[in-house]
Every structure is written in C-alpha cells, then in structure tokens.
Amino acid sequence: MSSAIEVKHLCHQYGSRTIYRDLNFTVPTGTICGLLGKNGQGKTTLVNILMGFLKPTSGRCLVLGEDSCHLPPLTRARIGLLHEGHLAYEFLTIAQTERFFSGFYLGWEREIFFDLVDKMGLSPDHRICRMSCGQRSQVVLGVIMAQNPDLLILDDYSMGLDAGYRRLFLDVLKDFAALGDKTIFVTSHIVQDLEKLVDSMIFIDRGEIMQTELDSFMKSFHRYDFEDGGELSLDKDEVIRGFEQRGERISVYSFADQESVQFHLDSLGVHPEKMREKKMSLEDAFIGLMGKY
C-alpha cells in the first residue's frame, strides 16, 4: 500500500525549544488518521510543516510522494487543506468565495459547494466576516470538498464548533471517505469525535509519538481501578502508562494484562485489593495515556 504522508526523522526547534525529535510515521493511502495531542504539543506545527509553511530543522516529509518543502502546484491541487480556525478570506461573500476558488481547480464541483453552503440558508451575497464560526466552517468545508481532493488535511476542525456543526462535519468526512482511495489526516483535541471516524491514530506528547490502529489500541489499552486509603504516587514506567487518583479511587492505565499489572504493583509495594478492569471511551484512554495536564 502506498503512503499519502510519510514523515522521516523529523526534528523541529523553535529557538532552543525542541518540538519534535526524530519523528517517524506514515499515513497509508485510503485511510483516516487522527493526530491527537494536548494543546501546545505541536499539532498545528506538524500540519504547517506538511504543507510547506514551515521549514523543519531537519528530516523529511513526503506528501503524496513530494517533498513537503517544495510541493508542486499539481500536488497541492490534490490536497484539501483546512487551516486552524477555519481560515477564510473574510472580505469575500459566499458567491465571491466560490468564484475565486473555482478558478484554480479543474475538477471543481460547484454543486458540492452550494449543497453544503445552502443548508445554512444564507444569501450568496452574505459576507464571511459577518458569519458565525460554524457558518464559516461550512463555507470552508464547501471549498475543500468542491476541490474533490485525494488527501484531506484538517487542522483542528472542531475548534469553536457546536455539536451540530461538528456532527455535520463528521458526516461529510465519512461520506467523503466512503468514496474510496481518499486519505484524511485530521488533528483534533475533541477525542470522542475521532472515535467514530479514524482508522489509526497518532498520539503526540512532548515531541514523541505513538502510532496505533484504533481497534488494536482500544483492545490492548486497559484501565484498572482499585481503592486505596493512603496517598499514593506512582511514576510512569514500562507497565504503568498512566496513573490517576481521585479520593480513594485509583486508576492505573497499561497495555499489560491484569495479572501482569497486579504483579508489577506488588513489586512496587502497592498491594491493590479488588482491582478490576474498567471499560473506557477513546477520550478516557487518551487522558489515561496523556494525562490531564
């Protein structure tokens, strides 16, 4: 299977601050990949590097087979890009936006744009600067979908959207993915949305990543709860990937099975009683893995 996105040994620094050190991952063609990370972990920076808006300190990114620093126009035409904050030319009206973007794409599908935009019931002469964030996101989505791209890169699409617009967005993305051979790379901080969308996920934390299939992650990552009267402090290690204490209830997150965790805790001098596995949503797992802060 070919790769829509290939990141090799990517390092990036802002001054003396290191954002990534030796990042490697691929997004195969035809899959939906979610990039998850807390705020400030460099999700937007990665999108900017992939789109040639930032020169990485070292390493290489291939997008649709081309070096991200020098994406040729023909390749850019195959990529639908949603900038953070649903960036749009706010001085244009809906109709002017369609007229502007349609001039650049051979396969421009006017109907798709107006299908999406007309749902809002706004006049075509409505200026974007007078729209709500949700309405603006719909216009931007219309522009991206009308391009009929092969690769969608969405930088935090859910930012500022209420549940209705988020659901609308997801529906469109799912329909798009169903067309086959379409790749979607999406970053978000709203984890539960991705649960219904992505095939694989990349967790990014302090410059390091973990890439995993959604299914296998949800199967292999566990949460074990037990109660303990005293103050407990556990450091992360090979077995314990996350630890949380609320009152007397303690949660331990791990890729290991219950027996191994029990044995490991025993060796650390913690002797949990009545430890049992608890079902998790993706969001619970995300927080378990990444922590709250």
* Residues at the interface with other proteins (CB under 8 A): 48, 51-55, 69, 73-74, 76-77, 79, 81, 83, 85, 87-92, 96, 99-105
Shorter beta-carbon distance to other proteins: residue 100 or 263: 100
Q: Indicate if the alpha-carbon torsion angle 89, 91, 95, 101 is positive or negative.
A: negative
Helix (H/G/I), strand (E/B), else coil: 131: coil
Shorter beta-carbon distance to other proteins: residue 69 or 268: 69
Q: Which strands, in side-by-side order, build the sheet including 208-213?
A: 79-82, 151-155, 183-188, 32-37, 200-205, 208-213
Number of H helices, E strands in the chain: 10, 14
- We find the least distance from the C-beta atom of residue 162 to other proteins, in angstroms, to be 22
- We find the least distance from the C-beta atom of residue 76 to other proteins, in angstroms, to be 5
Buried b (16+ CB within 10 A) or exposed e, 190-221: ebebbbebbbbbbbbeebebebbebeebbeeb
- We find the least distance from the C-beta atom of residue 51 to other proteins, in angstroms, to be 6
Residue 72 CA to residue 77 CA, distance in Å, equals 9
CA 92 distance to own-chain centroid: 29
> And the tokens for 48?
């900017």
- We find the least distance from the C-beta atom of residue 99 to other proteins, in angstroms, to be 7
Shorter beta-carbon distance to other proteins: residue 105 or 255: 105
- We find the least distance from the C-beta atom of residue 57 to other proteins, in angstroms, to be 12
- We find the least distance from the C-beta atom of residue 170 to other proteins, in angstroms, to be 23
Shorter beta-carbon distance to other proteins: residue 144 or 256: 144
Residue 213 CA to residue 285 CA, distance in Å, equals 14
Shorter beta-carbon distance to other proteins: residue 117 or 128: 128
Shorter beta-carbon distance to other proteins: residue 74 or 179: 74
> And the tokens for 105?
């794409």
Shorter beta-carbon distance to other proteins: residue 53 or 243: 53
Please enumerate in sequence order all residues whose Cβ is within 8 A of that of 63, keeping only pairs 6 or more positions apart, or say none. 4, 5, 50, 51, 71, 75, 79, 151
- We find the least distance from the C-beta atom of residue 75 to other proteins, in angstroms, to be 8
